[in-house]
Amino acid sequence: MVDEATLELTWYGHAMFRTAGSGRTIVIDPVPPQVGYRYDPVPADIVLMTHGHFDHTYMDGVSGNPRTLSTAGTFDVDGLAVKGYEGLHDAKGGQERGPVAIFSWEQAGLKLAHFGDVGDRPAEETMQNLKGLDIAMMPVGSVYTVDATGALDLVSELAPSIVIPMHYGTPDCVIPLDPVEEFTGKFGGVTRLIEQRPLTVSRADIPDATEVWVLPYR
């Protein structure tokens, strides 16, 4: 049981996460087995889908009767405020792969954001709204998102306390993406390899300067 002051965070591979805390369980971008990741259906109260591509919308991987959010906007889900900001899936104004939603919310006293398949720097207003993050789930694998340099630029500007890389190549992923080391090798600060799953985080665990925490997916 997760208490009100503790966030439980699990990565399932690709862009899929589960966060639990403050009496809510959120699943973001459920990934299908065709991508290479296997897991039992994950119970959720809320599902956030950053865009409509098949590798982010696998609702068979979610159990329960969740509320689903899949667009930019401001939402109140039983008292939990969720904001979706408009982003782009590519660096050509969305002409190649369309838009994505960057979701931000507060849970267990922490401010989180999931950047989906962001492929370019978001608009200035969005960047200002996304400053002060405790945890940023950031794609780093290139090809369909920002690459290591692009992710590092976003991290440097936004200065979140914890960056959790996602959407990169792993031994199980069948999509050809760059490995996480492309990003961590460029990051000049502290990188922590987290072994426990799920990760539990409270306010006391938040570092003063940006750190990269690499999570296990199995």
CATH code: domain of residue 200: 3.60.15.10
Residue 13, domain member (yes or no)? yes
pLDDT given at position 98: 66
Model pLDDT, residue 190:
95
Mean predicted confidence (pLDDT) in 195-209: 96
1 pLDDT more than 50: no
The CB density around residue 3, as the number of other CB atoms within 10 Å, is 12
Is 13 in contact with 37 (CB distance < 8 Å)? yes
Whether the bond between 41 and the residue before it is cis, its omega within 30 degrees of 0, is no
145 domain residue, yes or no: yes
pLDDT for 78 equals: 86
99 occurs within a structural domain: yes
Domains in the chain, number? 1
* Residue 92: band (very low, low, confident or very high) from pLDDT cuts 50, 70, 90: low
Q: Is 1 within a domain?
A: no
**DSSP letters spanning 23-79:** TEEEEESPPPGGGT---PPEE-SEEE-SS--GGG--GGGEES--EEE-SSEEEEETT
- Residue 215 binned pLDDT confidence (cut-offs 50, 70, 90): very high
Structure tokens at 150: 């692009």
Distances (CA, A) of 94 to 30, 88, 162: 22, 5, 28
Cα–Cα distance between 25 and 168 in angstroms, integer? 24
Is residue 44 within 8 A of residue 17, CB to CB? The reply is no
CA-wise closest residue to 112 among 103, 121, 100, 120: 103
Does some domain include residue 68? yes
Provide the mean pLDDT of the chain.
94
Residue 73 lies in a domain: yes
What is the extent of the structural domain holding 114? Answer: 6-214
Query: Quick one: pLDDT at residue 90?
Result: 59
Confidence of residue 91 (pLDDT cuts 50, 70, 90): low
Q: What per-residue confidence (pLDDT) applies to 93?
A: 59
Tokens of 183: 């990003």
Write down the residue that tokens 């805390």 correspond to: 21
For 101-154, the pLDDT digits (tens) are 999 999 999 999 999 999 989 999 999 999 999 999 999 999 899 999 999 999
**Model pLDDT for residues 35-65, shown as the tens digit of each residue:** 999 999 999 999 999 998 999 999 999 999 9
Give the pLDDT confidence score for residue 96 in this predicted structure. 64
In this predicted structure, the answer to whether residue 3 has a pLDDT above a threshold of 80 is no
Residue 191 lies in a domain: yes
- Tokens standing for 74? 């401001």
**Using CA atoms, how far apart are residues 104 and 107, in angstroms rounded to an integer?**
10
